[in-house]
Amino acid sequence: MGKIVIRIQDLSKDKYVLPGHSACPGCPETLGLRYVGMALEEDSILIIPAGCSSIIQGTMPKSSLAMRVINVPFASSAAVASGIANVKESLKISGIPVVWAGDGATADIGFASLSGSAERNDDIIYICVDNEAYMNTGIQRSSLTPYGAWTSTTVTGKREGKKEMPLLILLHKVPYVATASIAYPLDFINKLRKASTIKGFKYIHLHAPCPTGWRFDPSKTVYIAKLAVEVGAWILFEAEESKVKLTPPSDTYVDKNKRKPLKEYLNLQGRFRNLTDEDIKMLQELVDDSWKLILKFT
């Protein structure tokens, strides 16, 4: 399959996230949903479990999302998508079932249905929009909250690290796994478009810094998301048929010396306000471990 290169000018000018949505200022999910619209246009059939995006749509009978949306129970989204994928051919359905789920719905409560769908290689796209905690219920820790972070259920800082969610799906041997960041829209859109051309289970893990939950200024969402990549705390890659390839700009950060200091990223976030020097050392070690681990798959 050839590389699909897109330019921002070529993307749809249609609005897929409409004014009047009820997201917080600086919300990364509305950015992400816009990119999903720009990438897949009319093709997506969004399946959205409980989470911020259930609320962002606004109140019925109106909706701020100009895409097909099925709201579903928290743990069910991959299974609902699986059901649709299985009748797509026989019922001549045009469109792609696209799950849009948060980190809690993906890595915690919905993990079993996600794993089941991945193992069956259902023809769907699963996007985990990862804001690293249960933000919709008011900032409680998830298994994707990083070490040391304050949340309302880890008031002295989380003692466990972040689960390697994309690698867990990679080990299901699905045809496509990628990471993305809301700071790199073209990269995310490219990966979505590529995923839409592949048959089988596609997983994209989208890093989405949340000003409300991470305690930073809402004008800094994209800046923080970019920093996460530049300090090496979020690694961009894609894996076709389980072969991992780092994607720009993360490929340059294999060299640790090219990364910005982790502190630059941590200092801007209120959730890391109470970190000790030892905590920061621990976080740096966890980042280094993640790099070592991902490089084993390249």
Partner 1 sequence: MVIKVLTGNYTVAEAVRLSNVDLITAYPITPQTTIVERLSELVEGGLIKARLVRVESEFSALAAAYGAASCGARAFTATSSHGLLFMHEMLWWVAGSRVPMVLAVVTRALGPPWNIWNEHTDFMGQRDCGWLMAFAENNQEILDTIIQLYRITEDEAVYLPGILGLDGFLLSHASEPVDIPDEDVLKDFIKPRSQPYNMCSDDVLTMGNLPMAEEAMMMRYDIHKSIEAAKNVINEVDEEYRKLTGRSYGGLAECYRCNDSKYLIIAMGGWVGTMKDVCDELRDEGYDVGVLKIRFFRPFPHEDLVRAISGVKGILVFDRSASLGSLGHIHAEVLARAYMLSNKVIVKGVITGLGGVDVGPKEVREIFMRFVKDVDEDGQIDNISEWVLGGG
Instruction: Give the binding site for partner 1 (CB under 8 A).
Output: 42, 45, 47, 54-55, 57-61, 63, 65-73, 75-76, 78-84, 86-87, 90-91, 93-95, 97, 112-113, 115-116, 119-120
Q: Which two tokens stand for residue 217?
A: 């200024």
Q: What own/partner pairs with CB < 8 Å and gap ≥ 24 does 59-66 have? A: 62/20, 63/18, 64/17, 64/18, 64/19, 64/20, 64/21, 64/22, 65/16, 65/17, 65/18, 65/21, 65/33, 66/14, 66/15, 66/16, 66/17, 66/18, 66/37
Residue 209 per-residue DSSP state = -
How many C-alpha atoms does 78 have within 13 Å on its Cβ side?
Answer: 27
Q: How far is the CB of 73 from partner 1 (least distance, A)?
A: 5
Q: How far is the CB of 203 from partner 1 (least distance, A)?
A: 16
**Cβ nearer to partner 1, comparing 103 with 122:** 122
**Cβ nearer to partner 1, comparing 91 with 155:** 91
**Cβ nearer to partner 1, comparing 53 with 179:** 53
Q: How far is the CB of 117 from partner 1 (least distance, A)?
A: 8
Q: How far is the CB of 120 from partner 1 (least distance, A)?
A: 7
Q: How far is the CB of 221 from partner 1 (least distance, A)?
A: 24
Q: How far is the CB of 40 from partner 1 (least distance, A)?
A: 13
**Cβ nearer to partner 1, comparing 54 with 140:** 54
**Cβ nearer to partner 1, comparing 128 with 231:** 128
**Cβ nearer to partner 1, comparing 19 with 61:** 61
CA 133 to chain CA centroid, Å, is: 12
Three-state SS letters, 139-162? CECCCCCCCCCCECCECCCCCCCC
Is 203 within 8 Å of 169 (Cβ atoms)?
Answer: yes
Is 39 within 8 Å of 68 (Cβ atoms)?
Answer: no
